[in-house]
Amino acid sequence: MRMPVAAPEIRIGASQDQRCHPAKGKDMLKIDLPKERPSDWREAMLKKMAEVLDKNRSVRLFLDICVKCGACTDKCQFFLGTGDPKNMPVARADLLRKVYKRHFTRGGKILGRANEAEELDERVLQDWYTYFYQCSECRRCSVFCPYGIDTAEITMAAREIMAAAGIATKYVTEVVAKVYDAGNNLGIWPAAWKDNCAFLEEDLKDTEGLDIKFPVDACGAEVLLVPPSADNFVNTNTMIGYAKMFHAAGISWTTSTYCNEGGNFGLFLNYANLKKVNNRILEAARQLKVKKIYWGE
């Protein structure tokens, strides 16, 4: 029997101090973002927000048509876990909506705070940074919304806007910067990747007596395998599993030292980096002249 999780009572500000570490300037520069927050951050963010609204129908539509019925309020695991009302999907979107109303709608300019419109100021920005990074973009709320309003779209928009003003988290930016240096999230350098593969070959021979190859950068293979990089490093049984499977199926395969990461942290940052990380898979596939891409994660 499925047991429903009872919604907690709201506790205002319960998770307001749980903030991610801010990004480091050196990582920001590597991923084409401003090194730090400029003095005109507000203008930079509003300019980006106008662009995001004009480029994404979903964002403008979702901000406009929400009727605040409350069906999503007890569906977000971040709310269920913390009780902080700003973690309810609708309230998370409200953080963006109040700035949208104030700066991009006539009604908001006239009615102001009476109808939740609010100026983008330091306090609102702190809320954005806190709560838009307490969303995992899982989209569970969109399954229960009668209009399919997807808070992931809202969260991605807010992070895109913040990133344009040099505001992002250390974890995400560091990982994306690592991909552009080493080819994967963990920062496994090409030499280490090859060495790990050679090690797994030996290990398999020693333990199971199997003679199975772990090809790296093999041009002309049929399949490019893009695993999560942890499979080469921590979850090696999974990597061994791939090799056995390809061996048994008689399919020639390879991994690439240019792109050996199936996870894309650009998703948690902005469109440009999302695309750039994904593009590495295509680039590796083209250069290795493979026919198919098998993409894990």
Partner 1 sequence: MITKFLFFYLPYLSLGIFCLGILYRFWRWAKSPVPLRVVVPPAPRSRLGIVRRLVGDALLFPNLFRGDKLLWAGGFLLHAFLWLVILRHLRYFLYPVPGWVAAIQTPGLYAGYLIPLPLAFLLARRLVIDRVLYISILGDYFALVLLLAITVSGVLLKVFSRTYIVDVKALVLGLVHFQPLLADAHWLFSLHFLLVMALLIYFPFGKLMHSGGFILSPTRNQRANFAQRFVNPWDFPVSYNPLNLSSPEKYAQTLMASRQGEVE
Residues at the interface with partner 1 (CB under 8 A): 7, 9-10, 29-32, 53-62, 64-75, 85, 88, 90-91, 94, 107, 111, 114-116, 139, 142-150, 153, 177, 180-183, 190, 217, 219, 257-258, 271-272, 275-276, 279, 283-284, 287-288
Q: Is 108 exposed, middle or buried (0-12, 13-18, 19+ CB in 10 A)?
A: buried
User: CB-wise, 153 or 240, nearer to partner 1?
Assistant: 153
Nearest of 214, 243, 239 to residue 229 by alpha carbon: 239
User: CA 45, CA 38: separation in Å to the nearest integer?
Assistant: 10
User: CB-wise, 225 or 288, nearer to partner 1?
Assistant: 288
Shortest reach from residue 244's CB to partner 1, in Å: 25
Shortest reach from residue 15's CB to partner 1, in Å: 15
Cβ neighbour number for residue 244 with a 10 Å cutoff:
14
User: CB-wise, 178 or 240, nearer to partner 1?
Assistant: 178
Contacting residues for 85 by C-beta, under 8 A, at least 6 apart: 10, 11, 12, 79, 91
Shortest reach from residue 266's CB to partner 1, in Å: 11
Shortest reach from residue 257's CB to partner 1, in Å: 7
Contact 179, 277 (CB under 8 A): yes
Shortest reach from residue 282's CB to partner 1, in Å: 9
CA 78 to chain CA mean position, Å: 16
User: CB-wise, 187 or 235, nearer to partner 1?
Assistant: 187
User: CA 276, CA 271: separation in Å to the nearest integer?
Assistant: 8
User: CB-wise, 114 or 249, nearer to partner 1?
Assistant: 114
